[in-house]
Structure 1
Amino acid sequence: MEKQSLFYHKRNPAIDMMRALTMLIMIFVNDFWKIHDVPHYLEHAAYGEDFMGLADVIFPCFLFSVGLSIPYAIEIRYTKGYESLSTIKHILSRTFALLITGVFIGNSEAGLAADTPYSIAIYWVLMILAFVAIWNDYSKVTNHRIQGLIPIFKIIGVLILLYLAISFRGANGSVFSSNWGILGMISFSYFFCATVYLLFSDRQKYLFYSAVILILIAILKTPLKAEFGGTSILNLPKGNFIDGFIALFHIGNGVLTAFTMGGVILSMSLAKMEKLSKSMQWFYIILSGLISLAMGYFCHQYWIVNKISATLPWLFYVLCISLLTYTLMDILTYYNLTGWFKWIKPAGTSTLTTYCIPYLYYAASSLTLITLPDQLTSGLPGLLNCFLFAILVIWTAGLFEKMNIKLRL
């Protein structure tokens, strides 16, 4: 493990760049709800539609970047002297924190009932304040008086979340539920892949076996095209043992977790290819992307491309995009063509903070009743509006980071 630890100890800026670019586009497409006349090629495909828009690519690319970071995070802990038990606790606590943040965001996205004792804007403000109180990175706090208050901040944050969970009533009258949202899906994929890496990083063939198992699950459990019956190959009655066993790991049909495992395998492969020239490394990564593209084309004969159904062609096509995007970021890093990155860097270094900030702006808009003129909510002006909003969110995250406000799970 010593050689890999030394490799992973070096920060890989290409990962930060890919994560930041992905987050920029994620905020951009997530803001489409406030505009209309969005070109279909930028939107999500509808359920059952054989299509993949830009919005369908972003989330899996982020899952891929999560996987890229896992070996670095774990190996750096080893170089700092942390033992496996400590790392297991870290993985569990990080998974739990992502689940909590995900479930509070996920429950809020459908709106609140009229008799809820606060507006959705107040909910979002209290939610973000609680997140910061509990999970802020307090490592740079030097004032001893403030350091003594940190446990109190955390307790207050927990109490706020408990109040929101107990008093929450959804728009349809529902109570607070296990609606994990995007962050919840990330947490399950992270937990599975981080645990597998922790167990088998010294027997790396088992990481490949894990990826193969995830793909096999997807092959067996993803519904085929209508001309091939429209059902999955393993179409067992509900309540069967196999589905129950798979559900224990919260991996669905395996596709979302496979994106994260793909990132883990790429980082692991980079360590193996360390002595190769950069051009040869890029060659092998691009070749892997082209193989993934070919596999996507083959699978497309039997399954549709659809994000909601998490189909196999969607998996392989986006894996190709992820591999090529990483290669591009690494090429730009190698030739020092990274000046553009400084404008969106906080999205790569304060990612969770960046993800949460839009809810503060949406809350401010709701509380102040500020709305955009119709001319800025459709067509090209609307898209420009969403893009500038994404930039504003990232710059706000950078400002918060300078104020030592940074969510760190």
Structure 2
Amino acid sequence: MPMKYNTLTTQRILSIDVFRGITILVMIFVNDVAGVSGIPGWMKHMPADADAMTFVDIVFPAFLFIVGMSLPFALNNRLAKGDSFWKLQAHIVWRTIGLLVLGVFMVNAEGGYNEAAMGMSIHLWSLLFYAAAILVWNVYRFEQKVWGYLLQTIGAAGLLTLGLIYRAGEDGSRGLTPHWWGILGLIGWAYLLSCIIYQLVRGSIVGLLIMILVCVVWYIAGRSTAAEHNALLQWMGGQSGHASHTSIVLSGIVLSLVFFKRNKIETNTQRFIQAIVFIVVAAIAGWLLRPLHGISKIYATPSWCLYCVAVCSMLFSFLYWLTDVKKYSRWTAFFKPAASNPLLIYILPAIVYNFQAWLGWYFMPHAFHQGWLGIAWSACYALLIMGVAILLNKLKIRLHL
């Protein structure tokens, strides 16, 4: 069995769960409020060239950051279960493939489809896709594992069939294509690269910091004027978004090791000082790099990444102090169900939307499509979806890649 790269606590970290739960809540809210007209600019994504960001532009990087914070624990857990080196790599690749598949299916359902060539509504196709995905990635607890394998096989066959049914283009000649990977797909690539890097540097914080710098330099080199006449730099430019997203995941790993690495004895005061230094350095680096490419979520610029890392690090540090140090944790119970079932909660709003669209019936009154009334509805809807997580957990429906 390969040796663990870091000694970490074996207890579940409440602050990480709360951070994940809050991110999911905000994600549901901002996705729903995006369809509301007449809302303030600070509640929307900033345009690509705005050189600005809002709290909405931090939601996706917060997911990436949490992936990084959880990654050392996940790998240690696999090793503790007895995984060999190659079995661990197979798990990483399988998880990446799962995220890419989900991302590609979801992206192709957003537009460009040809329902006539498919022979069914895109909304019905999407519902069948989500049903198949749940069958494949649900955590089964049958005493006889054959039943779980059977359901997974049915789900996989469903995904394959739906992939073959899907048609796009005016003449319906195109099938599923990754014209972009979708949020889940982007997370998948960043997860894969971060797992590789974490193992290559053997869990060293210094090594991770160097690789974050490499990601930033990669982006700058790939987007430089010299790339116009250099094939290698052009290729690097095409992958610069993945480099940026990977830098955020690596930053999450760094902060997780700062707080939870137990290879040597440190006090909470020392951990907070290290976290503050990391936050300040990230913020200053973001400020210094801003003149190069500005702040842009769409372009995944280094300044956007570094500012998001600083914000996420500050938020997590506060949550760690509040819940794990001061033990003020009663209020966190609301977030635990969603935090333990994030993938299902992520796709649940899409399932609700496609179900309504397929039936041609929408439960949201038209008056809730605009202004502060629409904002209030989106907030209530986010809370409702989070509440559904409690029911889903009781029904033993839990997705795990």
CA contact (8 A) 2:67 2:252 kept: yes
Q: How far apart are 1:236 and its partner, in Å?
A: 3.0
**Is 1:306 paired with 2:296?**
yes
Q: How far apart are 1:42 and its partner, in Å?
A: 1.3
Aligned counterpart, 1:107: 108
Aligned counterpart, 2:377: 385
**Cα shift readout 1:206-251 (whole Å, capped 9, x = no counterpart):** 32222121111122234xxxxxxxxx2542337x13444686xx55
Q: How far apart are 1:275 and its partner, in Å?
A: 2.8
281, 284, 295: which one pairs with 1:291?
A: 281
Amino acid at match of 1:166: L
Identical aligned residues as a percent: 26
Change (3 A) 1:400 1:125: same
Superposition map of 1:8-407 within 5 A: 8-110=9-111, 112-115=113-116, 116-138=118-140, 140-142=141-143, 144=144, 147-170=145-168, 173=172, 174-178=174-178, 179-201=180-202, 203-222=204-223, 232-237=224-229, 240-244=231-235, 252=241, 254-270=243-259, 271=261, 275-333=265-323, 334-371=325-362, 372-407=364-399
Amino acid at match of 1:265: V
**Cα shift readout 1:127-152 (whole Å, capped 9, x = no counterpart):** 111111111111x223x4xx433222
State the TM-score, normalized to the length of structure 1.
0.89
Amino acid at match of 1:343: F
Q: What SS does structure 2 have at the residue aligned with 1:82?
A: coil
CA contact (8 A) 2:61 2:245 kept: yes
Amino acid at match of 2:219: A
The whole-number CA distance in structure 2 between the counterparts of 1:202 and 1:289 is 20
Change (3 A) 1:326 1:274: farther
The whole-number CA distance in structure 2 between the counterparts of 1:2 and 1:89 is 17
Amino acid at match of 1:388: C
CA contact (8 A) 2:218 2:240 kept: no
Q: How far apart are 1:284 and its partner, in Å?
A: 2.3
The whole-number CA distance in structure 2 between the counterparts of 1:328 and 1:290 is 15
RMSD, aligned α-carbons: 2.3
- Does 396-405 or 53-62 show the bigger shift? 396-405
Q: How far apart are 1:367 and its partner, in Å?
A: 3.0
Q: How far apart are 1:310 and its partner, in Å?
A: 1.0
Aligned counterpart, 1:227: none
The whole-number CA distance in structure 2 between the counterparts of 1:37 and 1:183 is 29
State the TM-score, normalized to the length of structure 2.
0.91
Query: How many residue pairs end up in the alignment?
Result: 393
- Does 201-210 or 320-329 show the bigger shift? 201-210
Q: How far apart are 1:158 and its partner, in Å?
A: 1.5
- Does 80-89 or 67-76 show the bigger shift? 80-89
The whole-number CA distance in structure 2 between the counterparts of 1:129 and 1:114 is 19
Q: What SS does structure 1 have at the residue aligned with 2:227?
A: coil
The whole-number CA distance in structure 2 between the counterparts of 1:152 and 1:162 is 15
